[in-house]
Amino acid sequence: MPAITDLTVKAADGTPVDLSAYAGKVLLIVNTASKCGFTPQYEGLEALHRQFGDRGFEVLGFPCNQFGAQEPGDAAEIANFCSLTYDVTFPVFAKIDVNGTNADPLFVALKKQAPGILGTEGIKWNFTKFLVGKDGQVVERYAPTTKPEAIAADIEKLL
């Protein structure tokens, strides 16, 4: 299966970002939203980013407005919210779709590598998390209800 780090995504400003820049790192890829009940997880995601960042770990955030229209802002509004409300320093990319015909190829690949319950591939809600190993393959998929701090031991094992 192709590595996640073989794909290209868009930065918040729309410029292409080659995920090969993250090759050899452990990644936690998350679909995010600013107006969701799980939005306070930004704090835990940032804590993981700071705890493990100097050891080859990155959190990558991908805003998505597909669930309850909970990410209505444009790139500038999202960046401002993340920075001012949660002091987010990890990369937050362009707003994307994670399900449907317009799903970003990154999330198509993530879902294929790590299907959800009963083999379903669809993302159920904001803050679904995918842990990717240094080889660019998905190791684990976590539900939106899984708090970032609960993933720390799994990250530690991969570093």
- Give the pLDDT confidence of 133-152 residue by residue, as tens digits: 999 999 999 999 999 999 99
pLDDT at 120: 73
Is residue 36 annotated as part of the catalytic site, yes or no? yes
Burial call 47-71: b when 16+ CB within 10 Å, e when fewer:
ebbeebeeeebbbbbbbbbbbeebb
Q: How far apart are CA 1 and CA 87, in angstroms?
A: 35
pLDDT at 38: 85
Half-sphere exposure of 7 (CA within 13 A, CB side): 15
CA distances from 154 to 21, 89, 131, 133, 148 (A): 22, 22, 8, 10, 11
Q: Which of 36, 59, 96, 110 is catalytic?
A: 36
- Torsion, Cα 112 103 120 159, to 10 degrees, reads 50
* Residue 16 identity: P
pLDDT at 27: 98
For 23-65, how does the pLDDT look when each residue is reduced to its tens digit (9 = 90+)? Answer: 999 999 999 999 998 899 999 999 999 999 999 999 999 999 9
The token pair at 147 is 């708090």
Query: Which domains, from first to last, does the chain contain?
Result: 4-158 (3.40.30.10)
Residue 2 reports pLDDT greater than 90: no
For 70-127, how does the pLDDT look when each residue is reduced to its tens digit (9 = 90+)? Answer: 998 888 899 888 888 899 999 999 999 999 999 999 999 999 998 777 667 789 999 9
What band does 1 get if pLDDT is binned at 50, 70 and 90?
A: low
Q: Which residue has tokens 């707003």? A: 95
The burial class, CB within 10 Å (0-12 / 13-18 / 19+), for 33 is: buried
pLDDT at 118: 66
